[in-house]
Amino acid sequence: MFCFFFKPFGLQNYTFFLKYESFFEKKFVLQDFFCIFAPKMKKNEQFYRYLYAWYAENRRVLPWRETTDPYCIWVSEIILQQTRVQQGIDYYLRFIDRFPTVDDLARATEDEVLRMWQGLGYYSRARNLHKGARYITEERKHLQSPEWFPAGYDELRRIPGVGDYTAGAIASFAYNLPYPAPDGNVYRVLARLNDDETPFDTTEGKKRFRKQDCDLLDQTQPRLFNSALMELGALVCTHPTPDCEVCPVSDYCLGLKHNTAALLPVRKSRPVVRDRYFCYTIYLNGDKTLIRQRTEKDIWHHLWEFPLEEVEAFPERETPLLGEFTHQLSHQRIHARFYIEKVPELPPVPLTYAVKLSELDDYALSRLTLKALDLISESVSRVLF
């Protein structure tokens, strides 16, 4: 058995006594000790210095990083949920151009908001953003303060659709308040830093990683810390393989030292994907067609599409087939066929409305409908005329 006394740097008032059954175990656990406790000692400052120096040289210029306007940051955070940054930039700029203030967003109709969101998917995000804007404007009236915007974490959490992550992001990025903002990139960094195989997308995992983020958070510069940690996850500590050789904080990483970084983070088992089969019929009478709004509580709620019949399997049809698509959602796989039919008069299909093809830009359309419209512009003359 080996016994070992030592005084770690920064903790001279404490003496640690460790005993091991083997010399190999001593080396392994001492290594773990410095990796686990270094961020909690004075070396935390060194961790920050390394991280911030890297961030200063490598940070991307993103429009929402150039502002501390809480409304703009809120919009960006909602857009970036389930959306890649490069795609999100264009949507963010268009959205802010169309709705430059929270009052502009609150005054808009839901259809206008959904149309600006068209193509991003997960439309409940847009509906909650719209509800949140109306909540804020109502609070402004109640408080008789036309410029009021939630400034504290608890106030931000009361906005419809704003959870722990979004509230922490707005609080830190807009107001520089010391709250963590653990997104997917941060979960990945923390799981590897701590060699933690707890599934991050479970209730236990979220609580665990949020605590780790709180423990590591730079209380004096939370805006900078959260931005830098997110950027590290986006550019270096990437999925599935991190670039450990260029990581500025690799000395602190248990995942690297234990050769487990590429295995982390762990995700819980995915649910079984459900297959659905959609048959759309595009009726054309000159420049007019029929569309319907999805009012049932299902995917693409309140979006517009062509008349639809959902079937167990695709039937044989004599109607010309315009195109066929497969659209992957998180828990569903949509198989869609679009049939096109020229008619002397639009049929009385229940719950549909007659519109001109040129007017479809005024409606918030599902992504599948947008794909079909692209095919119509390319193929309708060839198929019908």
Cβ proximity of 241 and 262 under 8 Å = yes
Task: Please list, residue by residue across 89-105, b when 16 or more beta carbons sit within 10 angstroms of its beta carbon and e when fewer do.
Answer: bebbeebbeebeebbeb
- Is residue 77 among the annotated active site residues? yes
Beta strand pairing call for 332-342 and 274-284: parallel
211: which 2 tokens? 């605590």
Looking at residue 13, what DSSP letter applies?
T
Cβ proximity of 82 and 121 under 8 Å = yes
Q: DSSP alpha helices (H): ranges in 236-366?
A: 254-257
Length of the chain: 385
Cβ proximity of 48 and 57 under 8 Å = no
Catalytic residue among 25, 45, 66, 77: 77
How would you write 305-330 as a 3-class SS string?
ECCEEEECCCCCCCCCEEEEEEEECC
Catalytic residue positions? 77
